[in-house]
Amino acid sequence: MNINFELYKTFYVVAKNKNITKASQELLISQPAVSKAIKNLENQLDCTLFIRNRSGVYLTEAGLELYKEVENALFILNNIEDKVKSINDINYGVLSIGTSKTIVEKYLCKYIEKFYKKYPNIKINIITGSDKELIKKVRMGIIDFIIINTPCDIPNDFTITKLQKLTTFFAGTKEYKDIIITYDNIKHLPLILQSTGSTTRYYLEKILNNQNITITPKMEFTSSTLVLEFIKMGLGIGLVIKEYLNDELDKNIIYQLKTNIPLENRYISLITLNDKNLSNIAVKFIEVLK
């Protein structure tokens, strides 16, 4: 395999700066050298990576895809030294966790604080994204493990370890509190849900798909926090997790709605790749979690 890493590094810096002049200044090489490197890489890959205009350059579709992959590769390379050192030295290295912003705020913070106080020299990376993105990054070695809500669509070569039980229910404001949500009426209700690909959406659709029911939400958001905010505005009904609420129920800002749809138990779970040996740092953090 004959890979010219300098070509990919040059490509990455140009894409990041969106400007060949700025890239040449960062790389400490001439502008013609930068342009030649990009041309060589385009010839090597047999595709156009940049479209040039007066203000600079921007990525083509192929260039954007390459940029994502190179960014992931550089992340791995930048952490290799720390990871190697951490094999024998628990006091030094990197811990990379794939999760969601909500879980960090509502669950992980206290464990990260406890771990950090014990191992202050460990660098901790929190990486968020869709389940599929996080799974891919575990396979690539970018992430040590994942902590997300389950059930969700997890491949068979991963192990799911339940950490905390969650209570899920349909919620709405006062004008919706007398509604009983059923299989018959759910697709006609003003639903506010997380986007397709989220664990909450997967959880609900799996239940409804067993009854051949398809739903079209009134509103969709990537964030569970936004779902809750728009429910509180009285704009519709959505699924929430009791453990992630503050005092909205106690203050009657939202109400738990009645339903005859069986909502299965959900959990915050640890997701690990079966054939991947976890670093000492990752093992120590998991011990803190458990």
**Would you state the pLDDT for residue 180?**
96
Determine whether domain 167-265 maps to CATH 3.10.310.30: no
Per the DSSP assignment, residues forming a β-bridge with 59 are 50
Tell me the fold of 72-165+268-289.
Answer: D-Maltodextrin-Binding Protein; domain 2 (3.40.190)
Quote the CA–CA distance of 232 and 251 in Å, as a whole number: 12
**Would you state the pLDDT for residue 91?**
67
Name the nearest CA neighbour of 39 among 10, 13, 64: 10
Domain boundaries, the chain: 5-69, 72-165+268-289, 167-265
Distance between alpha carbon 167 and the CA centroid of its chain, in Å?
22
Q: Are strands 93-99 and 122-128 parallel, antiparallel or unpaired?
A: parallel
The two domains 72-165+268-289 and 167-265 share their CATH topology (first three levels equal): yes
**Would you state the pLDDT for residue 211?**
93
**Would you state the pLDDT for residue 115?**
94
For the chain, 290 residues long, give each residue's pLDDT as a single digit of tens. Answer: 567 888 889 999 999 999 999 989 998 999 999 999 999 999 999 999 999 888 889 899 999 999 988 888 877 776 666 666 655 566 668 899 999 999 999 999 999 999 999 999 888 999 998 888 899 999 988 899 999 999 988 999 999 999 999 999 999 999 999 999 999 999 999 999 999 888 889 999 999 999 999 999 999 998 888 999 999 999 999 999 999 998 899 999 999 999 999 998 899 999 999 988 888 889 999 999 88
Determine whether domain 5-69 maps to CATH 2.40.30.10: no
Helix ranges restricted to H, 19-60: 20-27, 31-45
**Would you state the pLDDT for residue 191?**
97
